[in-house]
Amino acid sequence: MKALVNEAPGLPIDRSRKDHASSWNVREKLLLGLSVRDYLAQMMRNPVNWVLAAILLLGIPLLGQRYLFGLATVTHGSQDYPWGLLLGFGLFGMVPLSASGFLLSTAVEIFHRKDFLPIERLALLNGLLGYFFAVIYLLVDLGMPWRLTYPMVVSFGPAAVLFLVAWHVATYLSVQIAEMVPAFAEWVGWPAAKRWIKSIALGLTIAGIILSTLHQGALGALFCYAPAKIHPLWMSPEFLWLHFFCSSIFAGLCMVIIVSTLLKHFMAWRCDDRFLDNLDRITIGLAKGSAYAMITYLVIKLVAIAHDQEWQYLITGWGFYYLLELGIGVVLPMVMFARGVRNHNVAILRFGALIAVLGIIWNRLNTVLVAYNWRHYQELPTWQETWIVFTVLAFYFIIYRFILYRLPVVFAWKQP
C-alpha cells in the first residue's frame, strides 16, 4: 500500500473531494481510491494477510464446532476451572488493555491536555475495539449470544457482580461508539453529527470515567466469588478490585504506546505530520503517567500483603513466582520508564511498554488459571481453545486495520 500511495496522485484519501473538485463516493473510500484489481493485488502482496488467512482457515471451523457441539469439544472447561483462556485473555486481559479510551479523553477533555490531542482518537479506537472484542470472547465462552438480552433485561440480578460488569461494559461501549462518531462523521460527510457529539463531549467523558472505573474494579471483585480457590498472594478480597483498576491505568497507556509505535513503523503513509512529529513527545508523556500508576500499584500490592499477613508465602515457590511476575511485569518496565523519560530515550520507553503489556496479560492469566485451584492442579488450555483465541484476535486486527486505513484517526480530515 505504501508503494501505491507514493505512485498514485491524490492518495491516500484524506478529504471529501478529489483534486478536480468531485467528491469521493463510498465505494472509492472503502477501496482507498483504488480499483478493485489494484486493491486485491495489494492485499495479496501483504504477507500479514496470508498469516491472518491461515489462522482463520482453521479458526472459523473451530468456532463452528464450539457453537454446534458445545464448549466441551474445544476446551477443558469444568466445575473446577470455569474460566479458561477465552476469558483469562479475552475478557480479563483485553479489558485493562482497552482503558486508554477513558484515560486519554479525560486528559484532553477534562484537564485540557491538548498536547495529547493527536493521539486521542487512536486511544478511543483502541478502547472501543478492545471492549467490543472482550464481549466477543465472552460470547464465545458463554454460547447462545441470541440469549444475551435475557440476563441483562428479562431476569435482573442487581446483587451479582457479573450483572454489574455486563451493564457497565454495555453502557460504556455505547459511550465509546459515540466518542468515535466525529471521525466517522468526517469520513461520510455528516458535519451535524460531529457538532452534536462535540456539544456533549464533556458528558460522554464523565460517563466514561464513572463506568470504566467501576467495571475495571468489578472485574477484580468477580474473584471474590471463589476466594478460597485462588492463591492468597493473588487474592486479596479488600484490595483486588483496586489492583485491577490501578493496573488498568498503565496497561491502557502502554497499549497506546505499542499501537502508535506499530503505526509509525508500518503505517506511516496513513499518519499525518501532526501525529508523527509529536509522537515521541507524547510517548514520553504516556510513559510518565504509566510510571506513576505502576508505583501506586506496587504500593497497594505491598499494603495488601501486609493487611492479610501473607509475608510467609513470599518464601515459598509460589512466592518466588509472584515476585517474578511483579519484578518482570511491573518493576522492570517502571525502571525503564524512569530511565527513558530522564534521558529522553523513546526506544527504551517503547520496549518497556511492551514488557508492561505482557506483564498485565501474565498477571490476569495467573489469577484466572495458574493460581486457581493452587492446592490441587493446574489446567492447561487445549490447542483448540488457544487457536480460537488467536482467531478472534485476528478478526480484531483486521477490523482495527480496516478502520485506521479509512477513518481520520491518526490523520486530520481536510475540509473542501
**Same-domain status, 128 and 15:** no
Question: What is the DSSP code (8-state) at residue 353?
Answer: H
How far is Cα 392 from Cα 167, in angstroms, rounded to an integer?
22
Residue among 314, 238, 249, 329 nearest 288 (CA)? 249
Least confident of 1-10, 52-61, 63-72, 164-173: 1-10
Residues in a beta bridge with 230:
372
- The whole-number average pLDDT for the span 65-85 is 87
Q: In percent, how much of the chain has pLDDT > 90?
A: 55
Q: Give the mean pLDDT of the chain.
A: 89
The pTM for the full model equals 0.92
User: Which set of grid coordinates corresponds to residue 201?
Assistant: 463531549
Task: Give start and end residues of each alpha helix (H) in 109-268.
Answer: 117-142, 149, 161-179, 181-188, 191-199, 201-221, 240-266
Give the residue numbers spanning the domain of 333: 46-406
HSE value, Cβ hemisphere, 13 Å, CA-based, for 326: 19
**Same-domain status, 217 and 271:** yes
CB proximity list for 241: less than 8 A, separation 6 or greater:
217, 218, 220, 221
* Per-residue model confidence (pLDDT) at position 89: 93
- Whether 416 maps to a domain, the answer reads no
- Whether 308 maps to a domain, the answer reads yes
How far is Cα 130 from Cα 176, in angstroms, rounded to an integer?
11
Angle at 356 between CA 350 and CA 236, to 5 degrees: 160
- Whether 115 maps to a domain, the answer reads yes
Q: Is residue 9 pLDDT above 70, yes or no? A: no
- Whether 53 maps to a domain, the answer reads yes
- Whether 290 maps to a domain, the answer reads yes
**Same-domain status, 233 and 360:** yes
**Same-domain status, 19 and 88:** no
